[in-house]
Structure 1
Amino acid sequence: MDNFQNKTAFVTGAASGIGLSITRALLKSGANVMMSDINADALSKAANSLRTETGGSVDTVTCDVGNMDSVVAAAKATTDRFGKVHLLFNNAGVGLAGRPGNIAIKDWQWIVDINLMGIVHGIEAFVPAMVAHGEGGHIVNTASMAGHFTMAGMAPYHATKFAAVGYSETLAQELAPVNIGVSVLCPTWVKSKIHMAAFGRPTASEKSGNGEATKIDGTAAKVFEMTKGLVENGMEPDVLADLVLKSITAKRLYIFNDPEARASIDIRRDMILKDFDACLDDLGFKD
């Protein structure tokens, strides 16, 4: 895609953070944008602010990306309002940390439903019509550098973000013949509210046996304190949003933002090749 003028975009998690900044960048580039978020009040306020700021063509639809029916309804609202959709930003996401054996399955299901199935729902709801109109388009799935390296205490987040990367890589191969590009956004620390997301997990509202609120897992508490400062001092989301649009026009599959994170790619590659080669040696496949 060479430009965004008069193209229509659907953006999830658009009420704040990266989603809000992507919406702003799209409007400034002449696109029509349907903003979606699960928080209706925050979504309405964000849209009104952007209308004043940019004068762009923007509308809103409340959407729970973890619910396929909700995404399908949002897709219909978007086509009813703007017609053909050319750009899909599966951006909504949450975080969850904790130790193995101490993470409730309902919390696991919650993060999978949003971080992975939220992308799947967006693809299944929007892509058939994007293919049918024949004008091409582009999809951006928000993953993370956490989809390329791991750290202890964040297994649910890593699992969903690795899945988002692998899914996006496959989609890129499948959709290239119909002129639909795919990018996977893999940032490190960006100013947003992602570190607060775990407070919305299902067990956060449950009470313990003595009627007190369920306490956060000790590992999760440490991860929260670590990430809070990193996120609050991270890259400005508007800077990342400009990079996203440049990466779309450059037809990049991966979108990265942090030079210090490059070493993690090298370390992971070396770890994989070390064991790969050792296994081949054990099987007698010598150089």
Structure 2
Amino acid sequence: MQDFNGQIAFITGGASGAGLGQAQVFGRAGARIVIADVRAEAIETALAALAGEGITAHGIVLDIMDREAYARAADEVEQVFGAPPTLLFNTAGVNSFGPVEKTTYADFDWIVGVNLGGVINGMVTFVPRMIAAGKPGHIVTVSSMGGLQGSAIAAPYSAAKAAVVNLMESYRAGLAQYGIGVSVVCPANIKTNIAEASRLRPAQFAGSGYVENEASIASLHSIHAHGMEPIELAEHVKAAIEQNQLYVIPYPEAKEQLRRHYDEIVDAVLPMEADPEGARKRTEALRNWAADRARVFQKSEG
């Protein structure tokens, strides 16, 4: 996608941080913006800021874990703008830090529920509508550098973000035939208010194994204060969409760390000469299975 003028962009977590940066950058490029956020007051503030720039924007209060609410939000987008989004940004996320061995069910349910479940809800809600509309589009999901390797102090977050990377790779392969591109953003640090996420933690997910208090929030703020500006990150996202790029990792300082991590994985693969005949048979079986599945899918669609 090269031209954003007149596109409809649906952005979760759009009232602040990375989401608001996306709203500003793509709104300035001519897109009509829908910001979805769980915080009504933040939406009103963001809408006023966007209106001040002459950006057409609409706000929807949305808990991305609520599938019925997500469907209503999708209906509202079509009522307001006459069509489903052509740009979908799965940006909303939460985090909390603590020792992996002290992680509770509530920690997993909340952190994975938002960071992975919320993305799934966005995809299942909007992808069929985008396909039915028959227009070129693009989907951007915010993962994290934490999704590219594990973390002893952010295990639920890293696990959810890793699943998001894998999921976007799958959608990328599946949606190309419909003219819908897919990108996954893996930030290292953003100047955002995600440090405040624990204040929004619903009561049904109480019972964390982590320390969540004013001191921990202040500590996180001290880290994020040095992060990349949301608008700068959104400009990188815009360039990635224009180039139909899958991975968006605008952090050159992370390159060697990632190289060491993935070299360790690649080096664990046995050399071909260890079992050449077994490798040949496994490859052939997989290829035959894939061809058979393709024939079944084509037949079912016919």
- State the TM-score, normalizing by the size of structure 2: 0.84
RMSD, aligned CA: 2.7
Q: Deviations over 1:190-219 (max 9, x none)?
A: 10011221343347995xxxxxxx787359
**Unaligned residue ranges in structure 2 (runs of 5+):** 280-302
Partner of 1:12: 12
Q: State how many pairs are aligned.
A: 278
- Counterpart residue number, 1:210: none
Q: Residues 279 and 160 from structure 1, CA distance in 2 versus in 1: closer, same or farther, beyond 3 angstroms? A: farther
Hey, what does 2:144 align to over in structure 1?
144
Aligned position for 1:240? 233
What is the match of residue 63 of structure 1? 62
Taking the aligned partners of 1:275 and 1:91, their CA distance within structure 2 comes to 34
Q: Structure 1 residues 279, 179: closer, same or farther in 2, change over 3 A?
A: same
Q: Is the 8 A contact 2:96 2:210 kept in 1?
A: no
In 2, the alpha carbon distance for the partners of 1:198 and 1:152 equals 19
Give the drift of 1:243. Answer: 1.1
1:72 maps onto 2:71 in alignment: yes
Identity %: 33
* Alpha-carbon spacing, 1:222–1:98, altered in 2? closer, same or farther (3 Å): farther
Secondary structure at the counterpart of residue 191 of structure 2: coil
CA distance in 2, matches of 1:38, 1:279: 52
Q: Which one-letter code corresponds to 2:26 in the other structure? A: L
Aligned partner of 2:296 in structure 1 is none
**Following the alignment from structure 1 to structure 2, what is the Cα–Cα distance between the partners of residues 170 and 50?**
34
1:263 is displaced (CA, Å) by: 1.3
CA distance in 1, matches of 2:212, 2:36: 32
* C-alpha distance after superposition, 1:219-270 (max 9, x if no partner): 9999867643331111111111111111101100011121111112201111
Matched, 1:217 2:205: no
Equivalent in the alignment of 1:229: 222
Asked if 1 retains the 8 angstrom alpha-carbon contact of 2:89 and 2:139, the reply is yes
Q: Does 1:254 align with 2:242?
A: no
Distance 2:161 2:238 in 1: 21
TM-score, scaled to structure 1 = 0.88
Give the AA of the match of 1:99. P
Which structure 2 residues correspond to residues 113-152 of structure 1 after superposition, within 5 A? Answer: 113-152=113-152
Counterparts of 1:283 and 1:198 in 2: how far apart (Å)? Answer: 52
* 1:52-201 map, 5 Å: 52=52, 54-84=53-83, 85-201=85-201
- Structure 1 Cα separation of the partners of residues 102 and 245 of structure 2: 39
Aligned equivalent of 1:34: 34
For 1:165 and 1:220, locate their aligned partners in 2 and report how far apart those are by CA, in whole Å: 30
CA displacement at 1:98 relative to structure 2: 2.1
Give the match's secondary structure for 1:33: strand
Asked whether the 8 Å contact 2:104–2:208 carries over to 1, the reply is no
List gaps (5 residues or longer) in structure 1.
207-213
Alpha-carbon distance in 2 for matches of 1:105, 1:205: 8
1:21 matched residue in structure 2: 21
Equivalent position of 2:49 in the other structure: 49
**One-letter identity of the residue aligned with 1:258:** Y
Alignment partners' CA distance in 2, 1:178 and 1:285: 37
The amino acid across from 1:82 in the alignment is F
